[in-house]
C-alpha cells in the first residue's frame, strides 16, 4: 500500500505542526482506520491498543468501547462517536467492477457526488484495497449525459479496483459487505487548519483517548466512564425522538446522571447559526433548562481563558437517548466546516481548547 | 565518521532515485510517467515540465526551445521529415480573483467536469512555493434541495484556512497562479495506475523513453524531430506555433486514445481495451489518418511484434494543425479511460508498446510513396 504510506508521511508532518507528540500519535493512528457505521470494531481495537494496558475496558454488543476510571456515587460519562459515513460492497459485475450500497442514509443530498472520479479505500479481511470511482470521459460524453452526471448517485457508481473478473476481485480479498470509505487523504492549510474525510469525528475520538490517558484515576472525585460509541449514525426505529442506536445501547448500559458528548458541530449546516471554526469549542445545551455541568464548563473556560462558543436548542440523535428530567446532558463540540465532505475542516486551536476544557473538568 | 556515513546514505538515495527511471542508458517510460504526472503544468504554465524533459534529452543533440516553452530537437537530414509530438500541458485552474475574505475564484484551462473539484483539495503554485487549499462544497450543500442545482466553474471557491485578502497575498498567492488538484498516484496493481495528467505526460514519457533508446547518429536519409509542445488542451496553440517553423511530411501526435472501456461510457465507438497494446488513432474529431499511411504503420508494428489496436474516438490532437500544411497525421496512443478526470487510468503494457512503436517508426518508417495518377 504505497499510497497509504505517502499519506502517513504527510499526516505525520501536519500533525507535528499542530499538536503535541502524544496527541499526534493517537490521531494519526485513528485517522487511518476506516470505520463506517457498523464496521467500527477495528477502530475500537485500535483505541484499546492505544490505551495503557492496565486500564479495564469492556464492550457492548454493538461494539462500543467502555473505559471506567475512578470511584464514587456520582457518575459522569464522556462519549465520542467512532463511526463515519461510507459504503459497503454489495455486488460485482462480470467484468470486475464493484457495486455499493450505504448502511445509513447519506448525510446530505450531494454526498455521493463528491466521490465520483476519486479514489476510495476498501477494508478487506486481507488488508486495504484502493480503488477509484469510475467517471465518464468528457470527450465522449453527450451534452445530455453531461448534465445527468450532475445528479450522480449510487445507481451510477462503479468502483474500479483494476481487475477484469469476479475471480480477480475475490483474489484481491474483496468480499460482499466489505466497507468502503474515501481515501484518507489529509491536507494541511494555513492558520493551523487541516482538512480531510472523517476528520471531525476521528479527532473527537482521539481527544477522548488522549484525555482518558492523562486522567489520574486516584484523584477523580467521581466515577468517569469514557465511551467510544459504535453505530451513532444509525437510528433506532421509533416514533419518539430520533435516537442513535449506539447511543441508546450506551444509555441502557450506563444510564449516566451526567454525560458530555464530544461530537462535531457542522458550522455551515444552518444559516441561522453564528458559530465558526477557530473560535473555540461549542457548548451545546439541549433546552433552556439549567445545566450545572454546563455552568461548570463555562466557569472553567472563563477562569482559564479558554474560548467557548455556545448554542442551545440543537437536536441530536446521539444526545436524545440520554435526555430525561433528572439527567444533565450536554454536547461539547468541535466546530467543523464542510462536515461530511472529503475536506472536513478543523482548526487545531479548537482541538487544544477542547482538550484543555476536558482536562480541567476532570482534574 | 557520522557525517561521512550520512553523505554515503544521501549519495545512495540519489543513485537509487535515478536508477528508478534509468535502466542502463535508456529511460523507463513507466517510471518517467509516474514522475512527470506529479509536476504541475496547467496550460500556459508548462515551464517546469519542459525543464524536466529537457534535462533528460539524449547527450549530443541540440535542444531548441521557443518563447512558449515548446521544446524539440532534430536529427538526420533531408526528406521525409517525421515529427513526433506530445503535449506537456494539463487541464487545470488559474487564480482569477482573491476575495476580501481570502478565498480564491478561478478560471478554467481546458475541458473538464467542474463538479470533480467540489469538496476536494487543490494546490496553488506560487512563486514562493505550493500553497494548499480546498474547494468548498456548494453553498447550502446540506440542505434538502442541494442536489437540484448544478456545480459549475463559477461555483469553485478555494479556501486556504485564512480570512482576508492580505493573508492570501502574504502566502504568495497572486492572480494568474496555476492550480492543480492535489495529485496522488493510485497504484491499482503493479501494471495499472490512476492519476491526474496521464494526458499527456504518458505521451511525453513514451517520447522521452524512446529518445533515450535511439542511436541518433544513425538516422540517415530522413529528418526526425521529437517535440514536446504546450497549450494543447486550450486549442492546440503550441503545435500551431511549431507549425510555423517545422514543415514535416508526417506527424505522429502521441496522445491519449479516449477509450470507452469502462462501465459508464457508450460502447458504440472508442471500444479499445486497456492492456492489449498501443493504439493507432485512425479517426478522431480533428483528423482522419490516410489509410495507406496507416497500413504502413501497422505493418511496421506487426513486423516488430508490437501489440497494437486500431480505433476511432473523439477529441483532437496536435498533429492536426500540420495537416493543412501538407503533412499526414497519424496519432499514436495508449487506451486511456476516465479522461480529463483526476483518475486517468493507464496500463503499463500499453505505454511500453507505444514506446516501442515510436522507436520502430523512427527506425523503419521512411514515408509512403503516393499512388501516381494514371
Residue A350 neighbours by CB under 8 Å, 6+ apart: A277, A278, A279, A280, A281, A334, A335
Here the cell at position B64 is 531548441
Residue A11: what pLDDT? 60
| A10 touches B: beta carbon within 8 Å | no
CB contact under 8 A, B146 and A343: no
Residue A9: what pLDDT? 55
Assess whether A293 and A230 both reside in one domain.
Answer: yes
**Residue A53 to residue B207: CA distance in whole angstroms:** 58
Residue B148: what pLDDT? 77
**Residue B174 to residue B365: CA distance in whole angstroms:** 48
Q: What are phi and psi of B6, to 5 degrees?
A: -65, -45
Q: Looking at residue A165, which CATH number applies to its domain?
A: 2.40.30.40
Q: What is the pLDDT of residues A117-127, one digit of tens each?
A: 999 999 999 99
Mutate to test the interface with A, among B262, B311, B313 (most CBs of A within 10 A): B262
Assess whether A291 and A356 both reside in one domain.
Answer: yes
Assess whether A201 and A58 both reside in one domain.
Answer: yes
Domain that holds residue A23: 4-84+186-362
Residue A288: pLDDT band with limits 50, 70, 90: low
Q: Tell me the mean pLDDT in the region A299-306.
A: 96
Q: What is the pLDDT of residues A45-56, one digit of tens each?
A: 999 999 887 788
Q: Is the pLDDT of residue A147 over 80?
A: no
Q: What is the pLDDT of residues A236-245, one digit of tens each?
A: 877 677 899 9
Q: Which residues of B touch A190 (CB under 8 A)?
A: 131-132, 160-162, 167, 171
* B 71-130 residues with CB < 8 A to A: 111-113, 115-116, 118-121
- In percent, the amount of chain B with pLDDT more than 70 equals 93
Residue B23: pLDDT band with limits 50, 70, 90: very low
Number of domains in chain A: 2
Q: Looking at residue A193, which CATH number applies to its domain?
A: 3.40.630.10
- Cβ atoms of residues A242 and A235 within 8 Å: yes
Assess whether A308 and A234 both reside in one domain.
Answer: yes
Residue B24: what pLDDT? 44
Residue A130: what pLDDT? 97
**Residue B314 to residue A191: CA distance in whole angstroms:** 45
Closest by CA to B249, choosing from B268, B222, B274, B272, is B222
| A226 touches B: beta carbon within 8 Å | no
| B315 touches A: beta carbon within 8 Å | yes
Greater pLDDT, B18 or B95: B95
**Residue B133 to residue B120: CA distance in whole angstroms:** 9
**Residue B220 to residue B222: CA distance in whole angstroms:** 6
CB contact under 8 A, B263 and A161: no
Q: Is the pLDDT of residue B117 over 60?
A: yes
Residue A56: what pLDDT? 86
Q: Show the DSSP H helices in chain A as ranges.
A: 2-18, 21-31, 41-50, 143-148, 166-171, 199-214, 245-254, 292-304, 348-362
- Cβ atoms of residues A31 and A186 within 8 Å: yes
Place of cell 480533428: B286
**Residue B9 to residue B3: CA distance in whole angstroms:** 10
A-to-B residue pairs, Cβ atoms closer than 8 angstroms = 190
| A241 touches B: beta carbon within 8 Å | no
Assess whether A267 and A305 both reside in one domain.
Answer: yes
Residue B51 neighbours by CB under 8 Å, 6+ apart: none
- Cβ atoms of residues A204 and A262 within 8 Å: yes
Residue A5: what pLDDT? 54
Mutate to test the interface with A, among B139, B168, B199, B263 (most CBs of A within 10 A): B263
Burial class (CB in 10 A: 0-12, 13-18, 19+), B112: buried
Q: Tell me the mean pLDDT in the region B80-102.
A: 98
CB contact under 8 A, A3 and B269: no
Of A114, A117, A146, the CB nearest to B343: A117
CB neighbourhood size of B25 (10 A):
9
Q: Tell me the mean pLDDT in the region B135-155.
A: 89
Q: Tell me the mean pLDDT in the region B290-311.
A: 96
* A 326-345 residues with CB < 8 A to B: 337-343, 345
- Distance between B220 CA and the closest CA of chain A, angstroms: 39
Assess whether A151 and A202 both reside in one domain.
Answer: no
pTM of structure: 0.91
Residue A218: what pLDDT? 66
- In percent, the amount of chain A with pLDDT more than 90 equals 66
Q: Tell me the mean pLDDT in the region B205-220.
A: 96
Domain boundary among A120, A152, A182: A182
**Residue B63 to residue B344: CA distance in whole angstroms:** 30
Q: Which residues of B touch A138 (CB under 8 A)?
A: 111-113, 339-341
Beta partners for residue A194, in sequence order: A188, A346
Q: Which residues of B touch A92 (CB under 8 A)?
A: none
Place of cell 518563447: B67
Burial class (CB in 10 A: 0-12, 13-18, 19+), B2: exposed
Q: Which residues of A touch B185 (CB under 8 A)?
A: 3
Assess whether A150 and A285 both reside in one domain.
Answer: no
Residue A236: what pLDDT? 86
Q: Is the pLDDT of residue A193 over 70?
A: yes
DSSP B116-158: GTTT-EEEEEETTEEEEEEEPPPTTTTSTTGGGSPP-GGG-EE
Q: Is the pLDDT of residue B221 over 50?
A: yes
- In percent, the amount of chain A with pLDDT more than 70 equals 92
Average pLDDT, chain B: 92
- Cβ atoms of residues A213 and A63 within 8 Å: no
Residue B12: what pLDDT? 47
Assess whether A190 and A249 both reside in one domain.
Answer: yes
Q: Is the pLDDT of residue A20 over 70?
A: no
**Residue A268 to residue A266: CA distance in whole angstroms:** 6
- Which chain B residue has the Cα nearest residue A186? B121
Assess whether A199 and A317 both reside in one domain.
Answer: yes
Residue A315: what pLDDT? 76
Residue B14: pLDDT band with limits 50, 70, 90: very low
β-pairing verdict for B178-181 and B121-126 = antiparallel
C-alpha pair distances (Å), A186 with each of B231, B276, B343 = 31, 36, 18
Assess whether A348 and A268 both reside in one domain.
Answer: yes
* A 242-281 residues with CB < 8 A to B: 266, 268-269
- Distance between A138 CA and the closest CA of chain B, angstroms: 6
CB contact under 8 A, A135 and B186: no
Residue A144: pLDDT band with limits 50, 70, 90: confident
DSSP A222-283: SEEEEEEES-SSSBPP-SSS--BHHHHHHHHHH--SEEEEEEEEETTS-TT----TTS--EE
Q: Tell me the mean pLDDT in the region B176-189.
A: 96
Helix (H, G, I), strand (E, B) or coil at B339: coil
Distance of CA A177 to the CA centre of its chain: 20
Here the cell at position A354 is 477542547
**Residue B350 to residue B281: CA distance in whole angstroms:** 14
CB contact under 8 A, A183 and B269: no
Residue A308: what pLDDT? 97
Q: Tell me the mean pLDDT in the region B68-86.
A: 97
Q: What are phi and psi of B349, to 5 degrees?
A: -60, -35
Q: What are phi and psi of B186, to 5 degrees?
A: -95, 115
- Cβ atoms of residues A207 and A18 within 8 Å: no
Q: What is the pLDDT of residues A205-257, one digit of tens each?
A: 999 999 998 887 667 777 899 999 999 999 887 767 789 999 999 999 999 98
Assess whether A71 and A93 both reside in one domain.
Answer: no
Residue A148: what pLDDT? 78
Q: Is the pLDDT of residue B59 over 70?
A: yes
Q: What is the pLDDT of residues B306-345, one digit of tens each?
A: 999 999 999 999 999 999 999 999 999 999 999 999 999 9
Assess whether A148 and A261 both reside in one domain.
Answer: no
Domain boundary among A158, A182, A206: A182
| A193 touches B: beta carbon within 8 Å | yes
CB contact under 8 A, A110 and B314: no
Q: Which residues of B325-345 are buried (b: 16+ CB within 10 A; e: fewer)?
A: eebbbbbbbbbbbbbbbbbbb
Domain boundary among A182, A205, A231: A182
**Residue A157 to residue A168: CA distance in whole angstroms:** 19
Here the cell at position A66 is 467502555
Amino acid at each position: 500500500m504505497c499510497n497509504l504510506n505517502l499519506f502517513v508521511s504527510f499526516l505525520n508532518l501536519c500533525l507535528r505542526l499542530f499538536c503535541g507528540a502524544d496527541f499526534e500519535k493517537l490521531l494519526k493512528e485513528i485517522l487511518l482506520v476506516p470505520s463506517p457505521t457498523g464496521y467500527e470494531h477495528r477502530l475500537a481495537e485500535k483505541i484499546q491498543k492505544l490505551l495503557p494496558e492496565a486500564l479495564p475496558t469492556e464492550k457492548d454488543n454493538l461494539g462500543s468501547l467502555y473505559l471506567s476510571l475512578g470511584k464514587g456515587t456520582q457518575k459522569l460519562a464522556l462519549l465520542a462517536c467512532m463511526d463515519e459515513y461510507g459504503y459497503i460492497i454489495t455486488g460485482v459485475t462480470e467484468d470486475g467492477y464493484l457495486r455499493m450500497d450505504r448502511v445509513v442514509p447519506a448525510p446530505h443530498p450531494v454526498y455521493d457526488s463528491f466521490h465520483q472520479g476519486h479514489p476510495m479505500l476498501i477494508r478487506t479481511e486481507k488488508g486495504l484495497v484502493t480503488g477509484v470511482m469510475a467517471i465518464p470521459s468528457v470527450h465522449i460524453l453527450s451534452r445530455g449525459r453531461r448534465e445527468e452526471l450532475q445528479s450522480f448517485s449510487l445507481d451510477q457508481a462503479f468502483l474500479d479496483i483494476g481487475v477484469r473478473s469476479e475471480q480477480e476481485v475475490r483474489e484481491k480479498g474483496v468480499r460482499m459487505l466489505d466497507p468502503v470509505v474515501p481515501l484518507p487523504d489529509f491536507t494541511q492549510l494555513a492558520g493551523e487548519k487541516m482538512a480531510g474525510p472523517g476528520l471531525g469525528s476521528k479527532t473527537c475520538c482521539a481527544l477522548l483517548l488522549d484525555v482518558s490517558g492523562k486522567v489520574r484515576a486516584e484523584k477523580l472525585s467521581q466515577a468517569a466512564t469514557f465511551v467510544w460509541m459504535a453505530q451513532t449514525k444509525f437510528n433506532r426505529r421509533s416514533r419518539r425522538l430520533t435516537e442513535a442506536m449506539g447511543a441508546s445501547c450506551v444509555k441502557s448500559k450506563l444510564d449516566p446522571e451526567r454525560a458530555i458528548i464530544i461530537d462535531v458541530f457542522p458550522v455551515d449546516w444552518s444559516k441561522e447559526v453564528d458559530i465558526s471554526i477557530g473560535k473555540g469549542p461549542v457548548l451545546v445545551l439541549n433546552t433552556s433548562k439549567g445545566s450545572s455541568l454546563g455552568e461548570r464548563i463555562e466557569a472553567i473556560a472563563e477562569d482559564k481563558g479558554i474560548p467557548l462558543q455556545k448554542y442551545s436548542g440543537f437536536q441530536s440523535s446521539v444526545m436524545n437517548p440520554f435526555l430525561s428530567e433528572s439527567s444533565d446532558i450536554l454536547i461539547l463540540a468541535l466546530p467543523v466546516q464542510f462536515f461530511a465532505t472529503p475536506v472536513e475542516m478543523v482548526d487545531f486551536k479548537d482541538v487544544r481548547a477542547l482538550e484543555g476544557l476536558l482536562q480541567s473538568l476532570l482534574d | 565518521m557520522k557525517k561521512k556515513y550520512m553523505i554515503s546514505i544521501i549519495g545512495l538515495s540519489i543513485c537509487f532515485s535515478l536508477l528508478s527511471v534509468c535502466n542502463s542508458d535508456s529511460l523507463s517510460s513507466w517510471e518517467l510517467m509516474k514522475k512527470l504526472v506529479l509536476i504541475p503544468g496547467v496550460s500556459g504554465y508548462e515551464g517546469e515540465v519542459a525543464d524536466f524533459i529537457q534535462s533528460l534529452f539524449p547527450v549530443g543533440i541540440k535542444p531548441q526551445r521557443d518563447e512558449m516553452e515548446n521544446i524539440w530537437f532534430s536529427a538526420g537530414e533531408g526528406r521525409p521529415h517525421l515529427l513526433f509530438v506530445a503535449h506537456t500541458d494539463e487541464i487545470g485552474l488559474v487564480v482569477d480573483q482573491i476575495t476580501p475574505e481570502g478565498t480564491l475564484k478561478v478560471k478554467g484551462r481546458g475541458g473538464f467536469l467542474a463538479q470533480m473539484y467540489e469538496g476536494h483539495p487543490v494546490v496553488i503554485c506560487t512563486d514562493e512555493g505550493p500553497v494548499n487549499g480546498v474547494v468548498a462544497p456548494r453553498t447550502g450543500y446540506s440542505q434538502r434541495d442541494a442536489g437540484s442545482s448544478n456545480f459549475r466553474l463559477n461555483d469553485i471557491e478555494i479556501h486556504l484556512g485564512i480570512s482576508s485578502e492580505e493573508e492570501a497575498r502574504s502566502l504568495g498567492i497572486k492572480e494568474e497562479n496555476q492550480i492543480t488538484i492535489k495529485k496522488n498516484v493510485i497504484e491499482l496493481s503493479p501494471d495499472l495506475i490512476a492519476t491526474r495528467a496521464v494526458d499527456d505526460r504518458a505521451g511525453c514519457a513514451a517520447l522521452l523513453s524512446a529518445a533515450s533508446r535511439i542511436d541518433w547518429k544513425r538516422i540517415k536519409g530522413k529528418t526526425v524531430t521529437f517535440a514536446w509542445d504546450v497549450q494543447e488542451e486550450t486549442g492546440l496553440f503550441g503545435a500551431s506555433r511549431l507549425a510555423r517553423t517545422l514543415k514535416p511530411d508526417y506527424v505522429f501526435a502521441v496522445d491519449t486514445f479516449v477509450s470507452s472501456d469502462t462501465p459508464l461510457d457508450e460502447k458504440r465507438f472508442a471500444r479499445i481495451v486497456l492492456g492489449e497494446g498501443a493504439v493507432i488513432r485512425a479517426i478522431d474529431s480533428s483528423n482522419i489518418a490516410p489509410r495507406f499511411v496507416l497500413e504502413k504503420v501497422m505493418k511496421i508494428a506487426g513486423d516488430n511484434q508490437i501489440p497494437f489496436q486500431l480505433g476511432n474516438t473523439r477529441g483532437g490532437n496536435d498533429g492536426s494543425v500540420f495537416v493543412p500544411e501538407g503533412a499526414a497525421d497519424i496519432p499514436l496512443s495508449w487506451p486511456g479511460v476516465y479522461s480529463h478526470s483526476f483518475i486517468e487510468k493507464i496500463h503499463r503494457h500499453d505505454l511500453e508498446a507505444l514506446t516501442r512503436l515510436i522507436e520502430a517508426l523512427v527506425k523503419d518508417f521512411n514515408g509512403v510513396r503516393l499512388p501516381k495518377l494514371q
